[in-house]
Chains A and B, each alone.
Chain A
Amino acid sequence: MKQHAELDTLVVGGGVVGMAVAYGLARAGERVRLLDEGDDAFRAARGNFGLVWVQGKGLDRPAYARWTLEAARQWPAFAQELAQHSGVDVELSQIGGLIMCMDEAELAQRAAGLAAVRQQLAQPYPFDVLDLKQLRALSPLVGPEVAGAVFCPLDGHVSPLRLLRALFQSFQNLGGELCAGVAVDAIAQRNGAFYVRTGGTEHVAAKVVLAAGLGNRALAPLVGLEAPVKPVRGQILVTERVQPFLRHPSLHVRQTGEGVVQIGDSKEDVGLDDGTTLAQLARISERAMRCFPLLKTVNIVRTWGALRVMSPDGFPIYQASTACPGAFVVTCHSGITLASQHAGPLADWIRGGQQPADISGFNAERFHV
């Protein structure tokens, strides 16, 4: 490994958030070392659904809607760039996504929410409300119980595992150092440098970025920051491979590039339990079968639970430490959607640039009310 003084930034956390930031910094020429825990860590990045999603994000929070919109717009270029650096195709498909509604009231409520976001934004915010007939023109195998859907042409999906792989590979190809299987025990700042201890090793760099997901809760106070994040469990089922029938992802069902149908989701407050329950899996399956009756005969091959990283209001925490200049906390729930922004404008800010205007409100002080 390189000598201490040669490192610009230590990134703590090798999930999709930490990797996007680390990749962005390495791409800009920084010397970066990434510290990642082992496979016994809670890894949202290895259990998530893989949506690049705009619609419904930032209701009552226009800055978040704009941040998300820009992330979605940057995704095609981001995916292309990752493929060039890593040779990994992340299977981005961004031809629009659907939120399916089982009754008219739900559909009307969704549409009203999006109309409100559209009104608050000073830029185009495309979406269409589809009745069942219009929906079936897009997605012919939708079941008769579905009332309709909201379609947003900016929505899409990627393979989250391929994305993570592409980020790791790109990061390493750009000279980034990966230090896996280590946990941060202590962080100290002396003479303008951060000394981060993992077991018997000390890592030294000018900056440190905490992107450790749920681990940020304990790490942030070490550098004068806070990250009051909590786990929210989601459960997912995946089926055997099916010949392609579903082009547009929805919040609950998507078909992967390999043909697997991925089915979610649930939101449960169960602490650090990332297991599955029959009750939730049954509920999730039942809804998916109402949306797509053909799923009734398709075999499930695997199920899992994973823990989302949620702040008290659900929005990200992006903050630079004033007590320890050069330390940052980065945490959010939508690590896939926002990956393009994290590798771009967020990494530029960490390098010393201007903080993007849309994220200036996402500090932890907002929780002190």
Chain B
Amino acid sequence: MFRPIDTPLARASVTLHVQGRPITARVGDTLAMALLNAGVVPFRQTPVSGQARAPLCLMGVCFDCLVEVDGQQNVQSCMVEVCEGMQVRLPTGARRAEDAA
């Protein structure tokens, strides 16, 4: 569905894990971009109706691209950069009530 635009500058790749599954992304990609490139759609199910959601705005406004990043829940994936070893989980419903680490 999504394809990176070819760029002349080759970028190094990193590996991250989505629900335990490894995916490859390019350094400098946002997490949302990396997930879209890897075909991870939808990103989550909403707490209100359980409907599927994926990024809409990709610029930090719509809050539809929320995922769990390294244990931190409801992170806007379009606002964080990928990094090596990142652990991503896809949320289902409302966030869990957990004591802060």
- The interface of chain A, by Cβ under 8 A from chain B, is 141, 240-246, 258-259, 293-299
Contact = CB atoms under 8 A, between A and B. Distances in A.
A244 B97 CA distance: 7
9 contacts: A240-B47, A241-B47, A241-B48, A243-B95, A246-B97, A259-B47, A294-B98, A295-B100, A297-B73
B62 interface: no
Nearest to B71: A297
Contacts of B73: 297
**Most chain B CB neighbours (cut-off 10 Å) among A243, A244, A293:** A243
Given A242-B95, A259-B94, A298-B95, 13 more contacts: A141-B99, A240-B74, A240-B95, A241-B48, A241-B95, A243-B95, A243-B96, A259-B47, A294-B98, A296-B100, A297-B73, A297-B98, A299-B74
Interface residues of B, number: 13
Nearest to B96: A243
Contacts, number: 39
Contacts of B93: 243
A297 B100 CA distance: 6
A241 B99 contact: no
B94 A141 contact: no
Interface of B: 47-48, 72-74, 93-100
A297 B97 contact: no
A240 B97 CA distance: 11
Contacts of A242: 94-97
A294 B100 contact: yes
Nearest to A259: B94
B97 A293 contact: no
A246 B74 CA distance: 20
A293 B99 contact: yes
Contacts of A295: 100
Nearest to A289: B100
A141 B74 contact: no
A299 B74 CA distance: 8
Contact of A241 (B72, B94, B98, B100): B94
B72 A297 contact: yes
Given A240-B74, A297-B73, A299-B74, A245 B97 contact: yes
Nearest to B72: A297
Contacts of B96: 242-243
A146 to B, nearest CB: 14
B100 A293 contact: yes
Contacts of A258: 48
B82 to A, nearest CB: 21
B41 to A, nearest CB: 22
A138 to B, nearest CB: 15
B47 to A, nearest CB: 4
A241 B72 CA distance: 15
